[in-house]
Amino acid sequence: MNSAKQDQLAVVKKIEKLRLEYLDSAKRVFTLPMILEKLSLSPSPSSFSLIKHLEKTGEINKILRVESPSLGGVGDFESISDIPEVIDDFRTGLELQVRPENIRVLYTLNKDVGS
């Protein structure tokens, strides 16, 4: 077995441990730096390729969260094309003009894989 495949398997095992640790928890949402840390990966092209592979295989899901400037998330989307130009900010009762600074890339653990 080659080194890259061994690294992938080690990361999948860490994801399984995270699933158990964060089972049914709101803390199952991670930023890219957080998921890299949890999986003991350093920021590198190979790590980013591995994250993409984990998305493709369904181990993790990438979500794009639109956040109110002051009060948190107001909508989750699968792709940039799904994000509306204006969204109801239910936290403030106002309409929010979506700007790049209002969008966060987050990752969740897919609880169905490997369960």
pLDDT digits (tens, 9 = 90+) for 25-81: 656 789 999 999 988 889 999 899 989 999 998 888 999 999 998 788 999 999 999
Q: Which two tokens stand for residue 60?
A: 């993790």
Closest C-alpha among 60, 96, 64, 59 to residue 81:
64
- Prediction pTM value: 0.77
Minimal CA–CA distance to 65: which of 50, 51, 80, 85? 80
15 and 54 Cβ atoms separated by less than 8 Å: yes
Task: Name residue, tokens 């190979």.
Answer: 46
Q: What is the pLDDT of residue 28?
A: 78
91 against 103, higher pLDDT: 103
> How confident is the model at residue 106, as a pLDDT?
95
CB 16 within 8 A of CB 95: no
The ranges assigned to domains in the chain are 3-109
Quick one: pLDDT band at residue 115, thresholds 50, 70, 90?
very low
